[in-house]
Amino acid sequence: MDAESPANAADLEAIEQVVATVEHSQQHKDPDEFLGLFHPDAVWTTSGGKVLIGLDAISEFTRKVLPAADWDGKVTYEVVHVFFIRPDVAAVKVRQRYLTPGDESEGAPLYVMSKQDDGRWLLTACQNTGVVAAG
């Protein structure tokens, strides 16, 4: 698929907006905003390896964990690569950085996103992986 086509440009922009909304929801510890990005049948694997299947399970986990998170809102998400598996399915590699005083850590999530009939891109199958510091 040609990454320079107008359709892809609009889809790339929409995908980047989903990731920007993930960032915003994490910075503000807002479960509702975060959960609004998921397909109802989504699969999410946490950085700790917990597998969550379906929006109900993802919601139950998120509502417990996100508001209690120990970072002070300094987290960033950056799209580093998008591969269109099909015109309506994309694998999105993200760089996630937690910037807490004295402790910077990084994650390397993979989001498989699907384009819905209404044109929205939703998180469908995601793996949140922590990056181990070399040393």
Reduced to 3 states, what is the DSSP secondary structure of residue 130? strand
* Band of pLDDT at residue 6, cut at 50, 70 and 90: low
Three-state helix/strand/coil letters over 15-79:
HHHHHHHHHHHHHCCCHHHHHCCEEEEEEEECCCCCEEECHHHHHHHHHHHCCCCCCCCCEEEEE
Break the chain into its structural domains and give their ranges.
Answer: 6-131
**Tell me, which fold does domain 6-131 have in CATH?**
Nuclear Transport Factor 2; Chain: A, (3.10.450)
Cβ neighbours of residue 117 under 8 Å, at least 6 residues apart?
none
| CA-CA-CA-CA torsion sign (63, 64, 69, 75) | negative
Residue 70 has pLDDT above 90, yes or no: no
Mean local confidence (pLDDT), 5-22: 90
The pTM assigned to this predicted structure is 0.89
Residue 1 has pLDDT above 50, yes or no: no
Q: Rounded to 5 degrees, what are φ and ψ at 41?
A: -100, 20
Predicted confidence at residue 72, as pLDDT, reads 75
Predicted confidence at residue 2, as pLDDT, reads 44
Mean local confidence (pLDDT), 98-117: 89
Q: Which of the 8 DSSP states describes residue 12?
A: H
More confident residue, 100 or 83: 83
